[in-house]
Structure 1
Amino acid sequence: MLAILIGIVILHVTSLILLIISTSVNAWRVVGDRTTDLWYNCWTSNEGYHCVGASDADWLQAVQALMVLAVIFCFLSFFFFCFQLFTLEKGGRFFFTAAFQVLASLFVMCGAIIYTVMSPEDGDYGYAYVLAWVAFPLTLLSGLIYIILRKRE
């Protein structure tokens, strides 16, 4: 039972770390020496490294909000899991934790889909974009495990 608990915690923390990295790192789109993310557009020149704020497009603000909400809901889900681990009666299910985790996965999916559809066609997707897509199934899997999981002694 302890091994299952440790595995669930590792899965949850891994998805939380992936969400934090994908939300904050400047590598959602790479075009030559120019990188863009949810917050800044950066490039290298003879004078050094320069960054300007990302555009104020509505779709980009929606992606920003969804990714931040995903991080918040994933963190709250972990907090509720720890809380329910000590307060939930024997045989109870972690439905509240599961709901927050599944919502976090849906936020990541929606944000990544919006970014995929609305971002410019030039360049390649960066590793932060890929991490967001990797975090989606991990977060969803974690949420589904919480639905199935029962508290035991």
Structure 2
Amino acid sequence: MKSMILAAFVAALALPVAAHDYGFAGVLSSNNSGEMPGITLSVGKPLAEGPITLKSGTMYELEIEADGTGELGLEGPGFFRAIWVNEVVINGLEVRPFGLESVEFDEEGEMEIEFLAIKPGQYFLRIPGSSGESQRVDITIQ
């Protein structure tokens, strides 16, 4: 009996082993990122050109730039609840928040929000208290 077990073990070791390089899976995969147009905060100028379409399960980096023409914010609680925020980078400082509801620029600056689109649906980002079409960008997560 021992010799049969030993023979089976030796035979298993002799089987060719396939070399697979699976790499990272899912969110960490290098091919799991998408491009997203930036958003500009400027008094009297549109936030972005047209609506934005994102794919659920894909990592994106949202670049927000404020030109300092006014104290402007950006809100979108529905959108921020439909994504997982990995990090927010402000002047080279990385913040890893549990979540966001809005951001605000008191002066000129840039911010990057790296996130994973999760929940499909129709969302928006807008300047708080604004009603103009150009002060809002519609975002669809497919």
Does TM-score exceed 0.5, indicating one fold? Answer: no
TM norm structure 1: 0.27
Structure whose residues are more often helix by fraction: 1
TM norm structure 2: 0.28
Q: Which of 1 and 2 has greater Rg?
A: 2
Looking at both structures, which has the greater relative contact order when contacts are Cα pairs under 8 Å and sequence separation is at least 6? 1
